[in-house]
Amino acid sequence: MGSRREFIEKLTVSAVSLPILCGPTSLFAACEQPYNSPILRVAIMGLGGYGTRVAKAMLDCKRAKLVGVISGTPSKITKWQSEYNIPEKNCYNYENFDRLKDNPDIDAVYIITPNGLHCEQAIRVAKAGKHVICEKPMAINAEEGERMVKACREANVKLLVGYRMHFEPKTVEVIRMRKAGEFGQPKFFQGQSGFVIGNPNQWRLNKKLSGGGAMMDIGIYSINGARYMLGEEPIWVTAQETKTDPVKFKEGIDETIQFQMGFPSGAVASCLSTYAMRHLDRFFMTGDEGWMEMKPSSGYGPIKGRTHKGELEQPHITHQTLQMDGMSRIIFEGLEPIAPIDGEEGLKDLKIIDAIFLAAKTGKKVKL
Q: Which secondary-structure segment (H or E) carries 64? A: strand 64-70
- The secondary structure of 264-306 as a DSSP string is TTS-EEEEEEESEEEEEEEEEEEESS-EEEESSSSSSS---EE
Q: Which of 92, 163, 221, 275 does the annotation list as catalytic?
A: 221
Q: Does 89 qualify as catalytic in the annotation?
A: no
Q: How many CB atoms lie within 10 A of CB 192?
A: 21
For the chain, give the number of residues: 368
Q: Does 101 qualify as catalytic in the annotation?
A: no
- Residue 132 sits at the vertex; the CA angle it makes with 116 and 31, to the nearest 5 degrees, is 125
47 close to 71: Cβ distance less than 8 angstroms? yes
Return the sign of the alpha-carbon dihedral for residues 308, 313, 319, 321: negative
| Exposed / middle / buried, residue 327 (Cβ in 10 Å: 0-12, 13-18, 19+) | buried
Q: Which of 62, 110, 130, 136 does the annotation list as catalytic?
A: 136
Buried b (16+ CB within 10 A) or exposed e, 49-67: ebbbbbbbbbebbbbbbbb
Cα separation of 305 and 303, whole Å?
7
76 close to 47: Cβ distance less than 8 angstroms? yes
Task: Residue 67: name the closest of 34, 37, 108 by CA.
Answer: 108
Buried b (16+ CB within 10 A) or exposed e, 154-181: ebebbbbbbbbbbbbbbbbbbbebbeee
Q: State the Rg of the chain over Cα.
A: 20
Task: Residue 69: name the closest of 50, 49, 95, 88 by CA.
Answer: 88
Residues annotated as catalytic are 136, 221
